[in-house]
Amino acid sequence: MTGYYFLVCLGYVSLTVAVGVFEARRIRATGPDTISVFIVLFVVQCCLPGVVIYACLPLVDRSSPTDVAPFDRIFAAANLPAALLVLGLTAWFVFFFYGFAALSSRLVRDFLGASSDRLRLVLTGSPLRLLIVLAFGFTLSVASFYVLGSSMIERFTKLILYRAGDKDLQGSLLNAYGFALTQTWAWLSVLALFVIYERHGRRLAWFLCLVFLCVFVLLGVSRRALFIPLLLAYLTLVLFEHRWRTRWVLAAAVPILLWIAFGKELIGSVAFGGTLSDVVGRYETASASFLRAASEIGITVVESLGSINLLDLPPRFGVDHLLSVLRQIPTSHSWLGILPVRIVRLSTTAFATPDADDIPPGLFGQMWMDFRVFGPIVWGLIMGLQMSLVQCAFAQTVRTRQAVALFTLVTFVVALPVNTGSYDFTFSIDIYVLLLCIFLTCRFIRVRVPTAASPAVGAARR
């Protein structure tokens, strides 16, 4: 039956082309917007990986195609009906997302009325406040790193082990919060770079912020720590300049894919020992390396396949999203026992072992667990409504680099469940701190402009 996986691959190719053509027509007159950013994130995580996964799956050893235990267990149990179901859920979600986003945007415009056409929002970020916040984050992260050991090698080794969830390494409260917030400071640094550049150009403050970003990426000791800031910066430029810079994407594609395919082993070799030949010889065939890289990028597709095949649960009707919010309340442990077990623990047990770190169910697995065939409708409504509000605010804002950088970051936060299907990573301390820092360092000013003016376009051209 694995030979029929090429049909699934063809289905993902068709879906990717259809989304690309529709999006190109939608933005032909106005240029890319925040909906475009969301769709790019969706296609990169849900459509393109599906193409590669099902093209490579028939060509690899089914007993251990990736050498990642959860992935291998999911692929071993995979079948054609489940793969087609995930593909169908993906296509229906895109359809309902576009539909509800368009409907919600129209309702919001009708609610605001014609007077909103003369009102614009101007975003102003404070370079000084951003530098103060990043300096605090830099101090916290470096202090957390410094207490790990007596030498740089020992500290980096323990940092890698700590990030990997080593049970034998007991971190302090400083380590817990210092390293949990590293990605917050890194994402905020990207915003700060655009704010400072627009206000002061590439001066000392800009280069200082760049140094902060490099340190946060280094202390992130993960592939996403480098990849996400680059992606945020790229999407910001796309929104501001209305140019996709295809040459940049093609030039960066090879090193990024190599980093995703071999980066984890390269980082692990520092902590566990190993040579470059061990890292390069990680895969037996090219198909195995492509499958592993695509599975890492499209983890939501793989986990959704596993949820449908390995989890036999009644409909959960969205209770897991309530649990994602409640688990952040300090006293919640005393009364959460009356609620169902979190889905991430059930999926972790099914994909790996009960004592492993949380493994989410994937976006399409979660929507199937929530409402079965109606899952894409409900999720399309939720995500479409959120993005329509973001897009309406973006349309009312004068298009400057710092404004575009902020809306790109907000869109990325909204799209976080696309990668996992769980809101555990949205309602978390690092996102709360990120939003608080944005509130403290940026503000919107309402201005009234002549009806015939187009300040957003004019600002972009200037």
Q: How far is CA 112 from the centre of its chain?
A: 31
What per-residue confidence (pLDDT) applies to 336? 55
CB burial string 222-234: b at 16+ within 10 A, e below: bbbbbbbbebbbb
Q: What is the pLDDT of residue 27?
A: 96
The angle at the Cα of 412, spanning 346 to 23, to the nearest 5 degrees, equals: 110
Whether the predicted pLDDT of 399 surpasses 90? yes
pLDDT class of 135 with cuts at 50, 70, 90: very high
Q: Encode pLDDT of 111-134 as tens digits.
A: 877 656 678 899 999 999 999 999
Over the chain, what is the mean pLDDT?
A: 89
Residue type, 334: S
CA 241 from chain centre, in angstroms, equals 23
111 contact partners, CB below 8 Å, separation of at least 6: none
Residue 178's pLDDT is: 86
pLDDT at 248 over 50: yes
The 3-state secondary structure of the chain reads CHHHHHHHHHHHHHHHHHHHHHHHHHCCCCCCCHHHHHHHHHHHHHHHHHHHHHHHHHHCCCCCCCCCHHHHHHHHCCCHHHHHHHHHHHHHHHHHHHHHHHHHHHHHHHHHCHHHHHEEEEEEECHHHHHHHHHHHHHHHHHHHHCCCCCHHHHHHHHHHHHCCCCCCCCCHHHHHHHHCHHHHHHHHHHHHHHHHHHHCCCHHHHHHHHHHHHHHHHHCCHHHHHHHHHHHHHHHHHHHCCCCHHHHHHHHHHHHHHHHHHHHHHHHHHHCCCHHHHHCCCCCHHHHHHHHHHHHCHHHHHHHHHHHHCCCCCCCCHHHHHHHHCCCCCHHHCHHHCCCCHHHHHHHHHCCCCCCCCCCCHHHHHHHHHHHHHHHHHHHHHHHHHHHHHHHHHCECCCHHHHHHHHHHHHHHCHHHHHCCCCCCCCHHHHHHHHHHHHHEEEEEEECCCCCCHHHHHHHC
Contact yes or no for 418/363 (Cβ under 8 A): yes
pLDDT of residue 459: 46
Domain limits of the chain? Answer: 2-109+116-461
User: d(Cα 327, Cα 308) in Å, to the nearest integer?
Assistant: 25
Residue 428: band (very low, low, confident or very high) from pLDDT cuts 50, 70, 90:
very high
Residues 6+ apart with CB under 8 A from 131: 192, 196, 205, 208, 209
pLDDT at 440: 96
Residue 169, CA distances (Å) to 143, 161, 165, 320, 437 in order: 17, 7, 8, 30, 31
Q: Among residues of the chain, what percentage have pLDDT more than 90? A: 66
Q: Count the residues in the chain.
A: 462
